[in-house]
Each structure stands twice: as C-alpha cells, then as structure tokens.
Amino acid sequence: MSKVRQRSSEHASRPVVVGVTGGMAAGKSLVTRMFAALGAPTWDADSAAKRLYQTDATLQQATLDRWGPRIAKFDEDGRMVDVNREVLAEVIFSDLDELAWLEAQVHPAVGRAFSSWLEGQTHASVVIREAAILFESGSDATCDVTLTVEAPEALRIRRAQERARQRGQAVPAESEVRARLARQWTQAQRVTRADHVLRNGPKDALLPQVLAIWAQLTQEWH
C-alpha cells in the first residue's frame, strides 16, 4: 500500500523528486538504475558526499580543524585534495559524537549540492534522489515521494559480502556487516516513513514494482 502526498505550490514548477532509500545491500541502487532506464535523471547522495571532500573548501577546513592533518590527503603543494577515508572511518565509527558532528557538516553541504543539481533538470518530469540515510538526514523533506527497498537481513548480509568479493575488497565477516546494519534505521522505521515499499527478496520481482510506481507517478503528478 502507498500513501499519496499533495504537492506544495512552490514545488509545482520543478520535477517530481522521488527519494529512494533502503537498508544496506537491499537493492536501492538497482532500483535507481531501473528508474534511470525509464528516463528519470538520478542523483546519488552518497557519491555526492564523497566528492564534497574534494571540492568543498568549507568542509575540508572543518575536518582539518577538527582532526588535524592525519585526516587529509594533500597534493605536492600542500593543498588538501581529499579526506583519508580509512582514518575518517576509524574516527567516526568508534565515536558516535564525532559521527554526529561530521553529519552536521556534511548534510547541509549535500543538500546544497542537490539543490544546485535540481535547478539544472529543467526538462525532466521526475528525478530520483538516492540516499542511504534519506530519513535519518531529513532529506526526505525535499522529496515529493519516498520509497524504501527492503530485503531479508540474512540475504542482505550475503549480498554485502558478495559485493565486496566482486570488487576485490576484503570480505567482511557477518558480525561486521551486522554492526553496519545496526547503525542504520531499522526496516520497520523506514517502512513506516516511506510512501512506497519495494520488496527485493529471493522470490520478489523488482521490475514490476518499479514499473507500477512509475505509472502511478506519471498519472498522479502530470
């Protein structure tokens, strides 16, 4: 079952923004690619956040002031060109206060980046905003429609391990994957907040669910 929102007047002239989220390895990126194949421009908040460490001088300086040069990668002229992601992970995953501080810096910057991107989508009728923490960050407030992609936890753990294996990365232990899952909202929390829920279990056909939502979007909003 899905909920239907009323679109505010100030948003009537821009594309419909569909927020896509879901638990780790549930399949949200796959859903985003399906919408892209249907013609919707897509924007990945997680990728945008990573780029900000390379492009946003304010965020770079804030991380340097907070954690010192160990947190950064520098070019030969001594300019910060990126964050040291291994060091950053050690810092924020061992201290929830540090994680909260970083999120308070990153979320507004990501929001500004999305707004700038959205302004350029003048010919689109529907755009996709993919974000792992769509609800946690409050980014759902910028969306006209939200959906979450869900799958059984055991299956998500296996998918996360297989994804790491395919990328040539160290395969995380089940306990490590569970620890990452514990840092996200629960399935129940996401399902309660989302307008649509897509199921991506072993017996679920994902494409028909996407097509049904796409048809609903094009009928209701246009």
Rounded distance between C-alpha atoms, residue 124 and residue 172, angstroms: 39
pLDDT reported for residue 218: 85
Residue 203 tokens read as 């017996």
Three-state SS sequence of the chain: CCCCCCCCHHHCCCCEEEEEEECCCCCHHHHHHHHHHCCCCEEEHHHHHHHHHHHCHHHHHHHHHHHCHHHEEECCCCCEEEECHHHHHHHHHCCHHHHHHHHHHHHHHHHHHHHHHHHCCCCCCEEEEECCCCCCCCHHHHCCEEEEEECCHHHHHHHHHHHHHHCCCCCCCHHHHHHHHHCCCCHHHHHHHCCEEEECCCCCCHHHHHHHHHHHHHHHCC
> Contact at 8 Å (CB) between 73 and 87?
no
Which tens digit of pLDDT belongs to each residue from 65-120? 999 999 999 999 999 999 999 999 899 988 989 999 999 999 999 999 999 999 99
Nearest to 155 by CA among 33, 24, 30, 34: 24
Q: Other C-beta atoms within 10 Å of 157: how many?
A: 21
Pairing outcome for strands 42-44 and 72-74: unpaired
Q: What angle do CA 96, 100, 106 make, to 5 degrees?
A: 140
Residue 185 tokens read as 């909202």
Q: Is the pTM of this model over 0.75?
A: yes
Which tens digit of pLDDT belongs to each residue from 151-210? 999 999 999 999 999 999 999 999 999 988 988 899 999 999 999 999 999 999 999 999
Rounded (10°) angle between helices 57-67 and 96-119: 170
